[in-house]
Structure 1
């Protein structure tokens, strides 16, 4: 019996005491079609077009001196969307629905940006704490507010991604658990609604990957 409702997201299968569901990030490479690695192929050309579009958009958001950093954010987007999509498969643990995974992506990135910004652009980082046109009497409060909003950025990125991924999976699980007790007519409606929710979750998997990456790009553009 489950200890709580969220126990359904705990990895249950293991090989040599190593939880296989937690290894979904690495095991997912087995699901990549063989034809993707053949060059050129339809899969590789399709993904290349996506990468080119992302590069153009990130290039517009980044500072001119940081355009090469877009390669890192494209890789970050690819990793997140890959894990999110992999979690839609049955009996596969969604690694991005856990704070350990999302914080591992957002915290090092934010910490690196802060160290780089405060060492190389100290004056600009101090000036960024006080928005232009702020009255003198409100400056201490604005510094406090801007400092707190800056510190919680990695947490908000991690919580946003994990919460959005776990919410849809939890709804699918709750609806699916009542299936055996329903009549055939209501079960047909339930299956149709599950299909619609699965389509929605597929869109959420891509959208949340895009939001996570774009926000990280915007944070990068603020340090220069």
Structure 2
């Protein structure tokens, strides 16, 4: 299938200094656009377009729309495969915490996207370069531009570097706090005390995998694996909840 390159958007002539900045951001990410106009557009705010009407620039709003959809699809697929025991409601809640403005701002700041945005003078003077909504929009626009230029596989590879590792180390554990959920279940049935222990550690120090188990009155309820002890314990709790759900008599 032939990918659209976005060749029909209006493109003004950027100063050499600005084009050098965009080369820098591509070098830092080791991602180089075939159609340079797409990355320029991804970082072009509407305020910049309004101040350069005669130079035929296009803002990033359409790319933002596309990037939002691509990001949601990519994150959905990752979560679906990563958490096979998670319910539809839990998946939706976790996805929403990843594809939301505060999280997108974190990703954009990690890549220093703010310094590369093309802004109008008024937006610049009022602190637009650090405005959360603007940064979130730029991140989505970049994803949209990358998708048009190089396809979904490259987008997923980009997210595997910037977004997905944060899920794996528990950055969104406040959303999927299975340990608290399991504790509530046990308290409702008054079935005793829960205890977590690490039963195995594998791999080198920089890429270690931990195995945890959760016990109820010294009886194992579930096993979990993760890149950190915290993640392994959360996975063990999730496994335990799945086991308790399966063993629960129908109708209860």
State which structure, 1 or 2, has the greater radius of gyration over its C-alpha atoms.
2
Q: With structure 2 as the length reference, what TM-score do the two structures score?
A: 0.32
Q: Write 1 or 2 for the structure with the bigger share of strand.
A: 2
Q: Which has the higher contact order (CA 8 A, sep 6+)?
A: 1
Q: With structure 1 as the length reference, what TM-score do the two structures score?
A: 0.34
